[in-house]
Amino acid sequence: MLAGSALVLAAALAVANGHVRDTLPGQTVTAAYCDISNTTSEDAVLTGVSTPIASSVEVHETRNEAGMVRMRRLERIVVPAGSTVRLRPGGMHLMLFDAETAGIHEAAFVFEFAAGQTTRGVFAVRPP
Ligand SMILES: [Cu+2]
């Protein structure tokens, strides 16, 4: 009974290892990366991300198509039950528009999922 309760408490959607690439002077678009883990028994569908340091955030996927590196927007990403999805350079990433990182060392991000859950992550701002 106690062990079962502990498992229920531990099951969650969590964001870890978040970081934002600092913008260069004059640049307003940048990328952010993190790990999104789902320790629940149900697949989770990420539908939106927001942060006060950008006017909008999109989930993108980088693809190499016939030698051309292209990015495309993903409307949603599935984080399967019991899995971690890793957003990394060259793969899936968050794209921040109208980003303002000057003088900021960290920023809060909110992740919204289709079933209504939200989870927060604090992202470090790192040099590009
Ligand atoms: Cu992108």
pLDDT score recorded for residue 3: 52
Ligand 1 centre and the CA of 72: distance in Å? 7
CA dihedral 11, 17, 22, 27 (to 10 degrees): -50
Q: How far is the CA of 64 from the centre of ligand 1 (A)?
A: 13
* Distance from the alpha carbon of residue 32 to the mean position of ligand 1, in angstroms: 9
Token pair listed for 46 = 């990420």
Report the chain's mean pLDDT, rounded to a whole number: 92
Digit-coded pLDDT (tens) for 3-62: 555 445 556 999 999 999 999 889 999 999 999 999 999 999 999 999 999 999 999 999
Residue 102 Cα, ligand 1 centroid: separation in angstroms?
20
Q: Structurally, how many domains does the chain consist of?
A: 1
DSSP for residue 7: H
Task: Indicate which CATH number applies to the domain containing 23.
Answer: 2.60.40.1890
Domain span at residue 52 reads: 2-126
Percent of the chain topping pLDDT 90: 82
